[in-house]
């Protein structure tokens, strides 16, 4: 598609998205009215910078259906994720939204080499189950044979990979590395696999990880991007050039802004990724702040696609952590810990580290009389309950370590602080 044509399509879709959002979503109407912005006044795609941002807090505050732009009866899928407030983030899809998501996801998969003859295996942790469904839909859309996410152990996954002749693996970079280690440990030879490509999502793909996977398994490794809690994984995708991710600009507008001032950053400079949906019917998002850091890649791609490219995610803004691809806010853990007993204000730090290439979370909780029981059994039970609750809320396995308050103090961080050793 020529750039000029693409820009016309973007403008048309942006205008109708704004018209729908203004008319059907009280939250957006209030925001626009407050700033005296009329959606009909937007003359070009670039003028989107005049509109206010939407944050994860806004999503939480409008729990559950506050941001839906169509009546509930048009919704065919309701997805929810932990979000960053007390309430989960609920995302709705109409039939046509799901179709669009499958199309975009298929684009990402096709650019990574997936064709209808492939056997595609999806290995993601439960916190990324929304993506698991999107990837399944996209791969089925291409016509590949798909093994959806399951709770099999890594060795079972590898057995399936070997026996079912999996040709494409969809997973996170860290889990791919973990699988590689387990292969070595249980003695599976790379030559015994039929893998030709690994497409990774959820976490930034480092050059080192790519090189190691590619050389050890003789595959192509490419990656896709999308915030895991609200959108599909194919918002931007790598082509075989592996030099930046092409943005699906016909369905999303992507801006890079200064995380503090919100001012747009020029191409080449790193900033926060801000996304606007152009075709979403049920859950339009206008200038959604993802918390992910990236930059626009300048110049045209030798692959021939005219879609602008972005860099991979190079970091995250503010307090939201990304652990195994799952967005986590320390306040969520704080709330769960508070539930131990009344009037208990927990002091804790989050220790993040890697084990077998996987992100691990340790909650260092300061010992306090409110959580001190004489009986070890009660204490153990409480810890077990906490781990379970955290898993149920965030989809993450964590370990909880009780430490002396003085131990935490030496890190000089407020409660909920993060020690990132990844």
Partner 1 sequence: MLRIKNVHTYYGRIKALDNVSLHVHEGEIVSLIGANGAGKTTILNTISGLIRCAQGEVNFEDQKINGLAPEKVVGIGISQVPEGRQIFGPLTVLENLQLGAYLRFKKKEKKRIERDLEWIFQLFPRLKERITQIAGTLSGGEQQMLAIGRALMARPRLLLLDEPSMGLAPLIVKDIMNTISALRDSGVTILMVEQNARASLRISDRGYVLETGRVVVQGSSDELLNDADVKRAYLGKDYKTFWEGRERV
Q: Which residues bind partner 1 (CB under 8 A)?
A: 5, 8-9, 11-13, 15-16, 19-20, 23-24, 39-44, 65, 68, 70-74, 94-96, 99, 279, 281
Of 99 and 387, CB closest to partner 1: 99
> 75, 48 in Cβ contact below 8 A?
no
The minimum distance between CB 134 and partner 1, in angstroms, equals 19
Instruction: Please enumerate, as own/partner, the contacts of 368-376 that have beta carbons within 8 Å and a separation of 24 or more.
Output: 368/344, 368/405, 370/340, 370/341, 370/343, 370/344, 371/340, 371/341, 371/344, 371/346, 371/402
Of 71 and 184, CB closest to partner 1: 71
The minimum distance between CB 43 and partner 1, in angstroms, equals 5
Per the listing, tokens 């308050």 go with: 405
* Cα distance between residue 59 and residue 287, in whole Å: 12
Give which of 231, 100, 241 is closest to 223, Cα–Cα: 241
* Phi/psi at 22 (5° precision): -65, -40
The minimum distance between CB 89 and partner 1, in angstroms, equals 18
The minimum distance between CB 15 and partner 1, in angstroms, equals 6
Sign (positive or negative) of CA dihedral 399, 400, 401, 403: positive
Radius of gyration (C-alpha) of the chain in whole angstroms: 22
Intra-chain end-to-end CA distance of the chain, in Å = 41
Of 2 and 151, CB closest to partner 1: 2
The minimum distance between CB 212 and partner 1, in angstroms, equals 43
What is the DSSP annotation of 273-288?
EEEEESS-SSS--SSE
Of 71 and 268, CB closest to partner 1: 71
Q: Measured between alpha carbons, how far is residue 133 from residues 205, 259, 357 in Å?
A: 21, 31, 24
The minimum distance between CB 321 and partner 1, in angstroms, equals 34
Neighbour-count burial of 189, counting CB atoms closer than 10 A to its CB (0-12 exposed, 13-18 middle, 19+ buried): exposed
Of 18 and 273, CB closest to partner 1: 18
Of 44 and 341, CB closest to partner 1: 44
Of 58 and 292, CB closest to partner 1: 58
The minimum distance between CB 141 and partner 1, in angstroms, equals 15
Reading the block at residue 47, the tokens are 């003028």
The minimum distance between CB 19 and partner 1, in angstroms, equals 5
Of 98 and 340, CB closest to partner 1: 98
* Cα distance between residue 109 and residue 58, in whole Å: 31
Helices in 194-329 by DSSP H: which ranges?
207-217
The minimum distance between CB 99 and partner 1, in angstroms, equals 8
Of 167 and 277, CB closest to partner 1: 277
3-state secondary structure of 11: helix
Strands of 303-382, DSSP E? 309-310, 315-316, 321-323, 326-328, 348-355, 358-366
């Amino acid at each position: 598609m020529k750039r000029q044509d693409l820009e016309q399509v973007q403008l048309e879709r942006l205008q109708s998205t704004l018209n729908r959002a203004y008319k059907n979503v009280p939250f957006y109407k209030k925001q626009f009215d407050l700033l005296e912005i009329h959606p009909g006044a937007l003359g070009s795609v670039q003028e989107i910078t005049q509109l206010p941002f939407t944050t994860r807090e806004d999503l939480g505050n409008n729990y559950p259906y506050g941001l839906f732009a169509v009546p509930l009866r048009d919704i065919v899928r309701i997805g929810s994720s932990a979000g960053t407030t007390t309430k989960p983030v609920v995302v709705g899809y109409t039939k046509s939204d799901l179709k669009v998501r499958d199309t975009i996801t298929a684009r990402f998969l096709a650019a990574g080499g997936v064709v209808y003859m492939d056997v595609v295996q999806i290995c993601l942790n439960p916190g990324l189950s929304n993506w698991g469904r999107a990837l399944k839909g996209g791969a089925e859309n291409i016509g590949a044979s798909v093994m959806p996410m399951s709770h099999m152990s890594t060795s079972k996954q590898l057995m399936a990979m070997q026996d079912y002749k999996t040709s494409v693996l969809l997973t996170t970079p860290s889990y791919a590395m973990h699988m590689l280690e387990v292969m070595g440990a249980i003695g599976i030879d790379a030559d015994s696999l039929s893998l030709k490509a690994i497409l990774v999502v959820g976490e930034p793909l480092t050059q080192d990880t790519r090189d190691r996977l590619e050389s050890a398994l003789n595959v192509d490794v490419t990656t896709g991007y999308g915030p895991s809690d609200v959108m599909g994984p194919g918002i931007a995708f790598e082509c075989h050039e592996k030099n930046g991710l092409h943005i699906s600009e016909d369905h999303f507008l992507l801006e890079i802004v200064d995380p503090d001032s919100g001012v747009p950053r020029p191409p080449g400079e790193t900033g926060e990724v801000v996304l606007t949906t152009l075709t979403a019917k049920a859950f339009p998002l206008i200038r959604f702040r993802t918390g992910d850091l990236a930059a626009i890649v300048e110049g045209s791609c030798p692959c021939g696609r005219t879609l602008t490219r972005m860099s991979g995610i190079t970091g995250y803004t503010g307090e939201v952590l990304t652990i195994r691809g799952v967005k986590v806010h320390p306040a969520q853990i704080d709330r769960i810990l508070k539930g131990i007993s009344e009037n208990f204000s927990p002091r804790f730090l989050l220790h993040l580290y890697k084990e077998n290439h996987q992100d691990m979370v340790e909650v260092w909780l300061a010992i306090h009389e409110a959580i001190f029981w004489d009986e070890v059994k009660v204490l153990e039970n409480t810890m077990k309950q906490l781990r379970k609750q955290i898993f149920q809320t965030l989809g993450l396995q964590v370990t909880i370590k009780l430490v002396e308050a003085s131990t935490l103090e030496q890190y000089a961080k407020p409660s909920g602080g993060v020690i990132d050793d990844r």
